[in-house]
Amino acid sequence: MEQLKAIIFDVDGTLAETERDGHRVAFNQVFSNAGLPWQWSAEFYGPLLEVSGGKERLVSYVRQYHPQFEPPVELEVWAAQLHRQKTKYYRQFLSKGSIPLRPGVQRLIEEAISKDIRLAIATTSALPNAMALLEKFFHPTTFELIAAGDIVPQKKPAPDIYHYVLEQMNLSPRECLVIEDSQAGVQAAAEVGLPTLVTQNEYTQNHDFPGAIAVLSDLGEPDAPFTVIRGDLGIYTYTTLATLNFLHQQVLSIKP
């Protein structure tokens, strides 16, 4: 029977609340600098997250809400230019320490390292954005593979990023467990056959997450237990490797 060998993490909304407190704020700063009368409130930003990828999200926003807007160059090119500026502000916010990791993330990753569990990143976030967060909180060797941004043709909910991770790490889906926060992420992982644990956030708390093995409020801490939204967590009240192995065994008990 396969053993749990690797944990694959999403980044935005999973490792930290980067969408609300980082990317959204950085986009607003860029809009202001460009003289654009656009400001994305925390509430308004939620539906925009249905589109994966910052550049793609900005293009979709303009087409839906400002179809008469005429950028100085082709829309996709202009969006990429603004996105690069946005990334600079996002990195500044991170350097100031204004975006902490979510509960249980640091503790679980440290335990995984101590037990020789392989770690990887699979995110639609641009590589500089992903690296900004990872470099602030983790050692450069923490994650064996960092798959981010445009490294694959299609972003989540397409399964491309997870196919790439499995191929690069020479792993089967049943040797891994994914931690995600969004329905797009769960769908992408499920299409590859990867079991997925969800830690929802304020933007994804109303998602249904079909296919997820369990849905939690967060990873939890010994003195701050998670809330189980769906799934069987047995005796566990915060996420450890024992918790993940418990969930993994549930997956293995189901015939492929």
Report the catalytic residues: 10, 12
- Close Cβ partners of 183 (under 8 Å, ≥ 6 residues apart): 157, 204, 207, 208, 209
DSSP of the chain:
-----EEEE--BTTTB-HIIIIIHHHHHHHHHHTT------HHHHHHHTTS-SHHHHHHHHHHHH-TT---SS-HHHHHHHHHHHHHHHHHHHHHTT-SPBPTTHHHHHHHHHHTT-EEEEEESS-HHHHHHHHHHHS-TTS-SEEEEGGGSSS-TTSSHHHHHHHHHHT--GGGEEEEESSHHHHHHHHTTT--EEEE--TTTTT---TT-SEEESS--BTTBPPPEEES--TT-SS--HHHHHHHHHHHHTS--
